[in-house]
Amino acid sequence: MLKRVFLALAVALVGFSAVVASRPSAWRLERSITIAAPVDLPFGLVNDFHRWRFWSPWEEIDPKMKRTFDGPFAGPGAIYAWSGNDEAGRGKMTILDSKPYESIHIQLELLEPWPATNIATFTFQPGAEGVTVRWAMEGHNGFLGKAFSLFVDMDGRVGKDFEKGLATIKSLTETEAKNRLEREALLKARAEAEAAARAAQPAPNGPAQATTTTP
């Protein structure tokens, strides 16, 4: 009887391993959003790791998370490393390439709780209704990653984080775009008022001419 149980378990394990091995190793997920704002605003939020704390869906996981920055302040070569609780884990991001107002490529290295290296890509495409921001991530799964994907919908799980982050970028940049227009209108009105005030001032009298008298 015990022999049959072990045999059944062995067959089940072989079958499970075959199913896991048949899973694709490469994976990719993507989310997008259209933002009614100039392209420089969302691009700037992504291109500067110091500003990720304002919109990243993972920044609020651990309020005590330690953050360090290295390399250039923003753009290619900028590095952001973090270390937090069990949920936040430990890892770092490096901007590999940054084309102003077009695309940003980031290498994401997860060190804890499980090692992984993925590539995140942000693209920015201006259009009639605003700029469409696409956030994609791709990588490769080993055996454990393939097994994990059988029980957890990573696209749905991580995709929700992407959607939340993009929605926050939209809210921040559309608000800033509105504030920018209001500031520009205020400065224009002030300049016009000052110009009108100068035009309304009377012209200064010319210098008095000296007169001579004949004795």
Res 160 pLDDT > 80: yes
Q: What is the mean pLDDT of residues 96-121?
A: 93
> Mean pLDDT, to the nearest integer, of 36-50?
97
Mean pLDDT of all residues belonging to the chain: 82
- Taking CA atoms, 121 is separated from 75, 131, 133, in Å, by 13, 16, 10
From 92, 143, 103, 139, select the one nearest 118 (Cα to Cα).
139
pLDDT at position 151 is 43
Residue found under tokens 């330690």: 66
Class of domain 22-184: alpha beta
- 30 near 134, Cβ under 8 Å? yes
User: In this model, does residue 145 exceed pLDDT 80?
Assistant: no
Q: Which of 16-25, 48-57, 91-100, 171-180 has the lowest mean pLDDT?
A: 16-25
Q: What SS3 class is residue 137?
A: strand
Hey, how many other C-beta atoms are within 10 angstroms of the C-beta on 157? 10
Is residue 12 over pLDDT 70? no
pLDDT at 214: 52
Q: Taking residues 128-146, report their average pLDDT.
A: 77
Q: What pLDDT is stored for residue 143 in this prediction? A: 40
